[in-house]
Structure 1
Amino acid sequence: MSERDPMVHIRMSAELRESLQEKAREANRSMNAEIVLRLETSLSPYSPVPLLIAGSGDISSPEQELVGMWRSMDSEARHAFWLLARRLSGTNPPEI
């Protein structure tokens, strides 16, 4: 990130801020880096977040476990996982 990147000021609850601070601290990142990473991840074509936001009711325990695994992966692991899942499901992986 450069100093020329635009700055954005947002409001959030104290609880959300504390949660983000804790996650950033655990990952040894700044708050800014944590927020940017989470936003980039949620907008990635490989992210399960849009599916969860769209909501099709409750998700099962195995689905929750997969989401938890996904969230613990870095972007390279997520990409590999996505390609493997697409191959196993019989769909063609996206061209990247």
Structure 2
Amino acid sequence: MTTETLLSQQQAVIAEVLEAYPDKAKKSRAKHLGVDAPDGVKGACDSTKSNKQTIPGVMSQRGCAYAGSKGVVWGPIKDMVHISHGPIGCGQYSRAGRRNY
């Protein structure tokens, strides 16, 4: 398999993934996807957008489904069960709002 074939296949997969999203979400998420070039060449991944405010419900490196699970889900459980839910990634921002004693 040549490098060009591999790059074209990776670009086709990214295009296929982006097809599932509406135009507005596709435009936002396309900035976070790219095909990296072979070693020694500055690749597409070097231009990935970062240091931006995250959008609730969109996965990013700042928040994940498990971020803050100790404080949000298991922290309040003392004598009863509390159920919390929300968009993925939102637990990252709410975990510092409560101390676990």
**Shorter-normalised TM-score: what interval?**
0.3 to 0.5
Which structure is larger by alpha-carbon Rg, 1 or 2?
A: 2
Task: Name the TM-score, length of structure 1 as normaliser.
Answer: 0.32
Task: Name the TM-score, length of structure 2 as normaliser.
Answer: 0.31
